[in-house]
Amino acid sequence: MNIKAVLVTLILGSSSLALADHYQAPEVRDHRTFPSYVAAKPVVLLDNTHLMGRAYVKLPTTWRTFTKLELKSNNGRTKIDRVIVELANGQREVVRTGGIVTGKQSLTIDLPGHLRSIKSVMLLGDSRGRATIDVIAI
């Protein structure tokens, strides 16, 4: 074999190995994977509301979904008879609580299904004195 051919083979082979040593594969992202579920921040639907018979809140039609409602007393004593939740698909959920929320207590209502889009929420009950209540969608 020719000495020139052997030298060229050795030089090209060693330079290819040197380049391969510093090679880093590019990061490839698979477009079919979904991001992990990130819990959304709670949304205050009613804030410091004095409940006298009923309180009603209507949400925008193109909004996000929720898993539960939290009724939180700020101070005083609030009696909650029923909570009526109208979902975006027209279905209504009537929750008869018959409970009294006092002080810094809260009452949690789980919505049926995993994630539900809420159209409106109506509270039926009565707040005593200076009592107020917050409605938070989670």
21 vs 10, residue with greater confidence: 10
Q: Is residue 6 part of a domain?
A: no
Measure the CA–CA gap between 93 and 113, rounded to whole angstroms.
12
Percent above pLDDT 70 for the chain: 73
Arithmetic mean of pLDDT, 81-85: 93
CB of 77 closer than 8 Å to CB of 100: yes
User: Which CATH number goes with the domain that contains 52?
Assistant: 2.60.120
Number of domains in the chain: 1
Q: Which residue has the tokens 């409106």?
A: 120
Is residue 38, in this structure, part of any structural domain at all? no
pLDDT digits 0-9 by tens, 28-61: 666 565 555 555 688 899 999 999 999 999 988 6
Give mean pLDDT, residues 73-90. 89
Q: Is 123 a member of any domain?
A: yes
Going by the DSSP 8-state scheme, the letter that residue 70 receives in this structure is E
Task: Write the DSSP symbol of residue 13.
Answer: H
Both structure tokens of 122: 């109506």
In a domain, 14, yes or no: no
**Residue 20: inside a domain:** no
Half-sphere exposure of 28 (CA within 13 A, CB side): 4
On whether residue 78 sits in a domain, the answer given is yes
Domain contains 109: yes
In a domain, 73, yes or no: yes
Tokens of 57: 């809140």
Whether residue 121 is predicted with pLDDT greater than 90 in this model: the reply is: yes
Higher model confidence: residue 35 or residue 90?
90
Q: What is the span of the domain harbouring residue 121?
A: 43-137
CB-based contact 45:57 (threshold 8 Å):
yes
